[in-house]
Amino acid sequence: MKDINQFTITEAVKKSFRTEEGSRFKFLLEKLIDHLHDFTRETNLSQDEWMRVLTFLYDCGKISTPERHEFILLSDVLGFSALVDMINTRGGATEGSNLGPFYLDNAPRKRLGADIAGEREGVSVLCHGVVRDTLGHALPGAIVDTWQADGSGTYPIQEAGQDKYDLRGIFEADGEGRYYYTTVLPKPYTVPYDGPVGDLLRAGDRHAWRAAHLHFMIRSPGMRSIVTELFFENTDYLDNDAVFGVRRSLVAKLEPYKPGKAGDIELERQPDAMIGFDFVLAPA
């Protein structure tokens, strides 16, 4: 019988896994065990606290659905998502930012110049720019996948009776790498506050507000895809976004719409304002 105590159990657990020597999985698993056990010893975790952690994780799983991923939200508010994004941003590429809990991977494909706002009220905005590589070359055919909240700060996926694919669209950049479409200006909103993550924020006396933003997933063959967000100058919560998603390089200027400034493009809807932003992808 092994003589296992609170100081030897860590190595015993690691040795119990017959993982491939030198593999990435072995490295990640053993580091997780090391840090989890060190945390437990350092904090002298009680059995009641241990059970509360497990119950919290159980509740996160219980409230999660294909349209709402509470564990992603937990990762976001702990800065885990932001840290992973920062570590994985490649030199010269657009900085990554939060995926968020409301992404859907089968949004409708739209033609360039289409409007994704429908009948929703608010300021109509032209979003436009070019997708390039790190050497400045345009990437024709790059895929621009976008989703967002509406003019009241709500995602359609959160509203009963609304089409969950509203305010979403997948666009293919033209031969010059350009993308352009119109939408409604989103407003700041609180992250979902009715579940265990909301309980955590309240317990920590933290607000749940996000700065207004647009979500993007950009990809092109042979290039490293990015997930990021675009924010607006001089708007609320840029300095204290609840999920630490704001980067200086991702804040763009919203200005009155001027025909022709975005180039020779055709739009389905006449916008009130415009915002330009070029995305940069690094080689895969």
Buried b (16+ CB within 10 A) or exposed e, 200-232: bbeeeeeebbbbbbbbbbbbbeebbebbbbbbb
CA-based nearest residue to 176, from 224, 128, 215, 134: 128
Which class is 74-281 in CATH?
mainly beta
Tens of pLDDT, residue by residue over 217-245, are: 999 999 999 999 999 999 999 999 999 99
Tens-of-pLDDT digits for all 284 residues of the chain? 578 999 999 999 999 999 999 999 999 999 999 999 999 999 999 999 999 999 999 999 999 998 789 999 999 999 999 999 999 998 899 999 999 888 998 999 999 999 999 888 899 999 999 999 999 999 999 999 999 999 999 998 888 778 889 999 999 999 999 999 999 999 999 998 899 999 999 999 999 999 999 999 999 999 999 999 999 999 999 999 999 999 999 999 999 999 888 888 999 999 999 999 999 999 99
Torsion of CA 115, 176, 94, 129, to 10 degrees: -40
Helix (H) or strand (E) holding 42: helix 24-43
Q: What is the pTM of this model?
A: 0.89
Residue 138, number of CB atoms within 10 A of its CB: 16
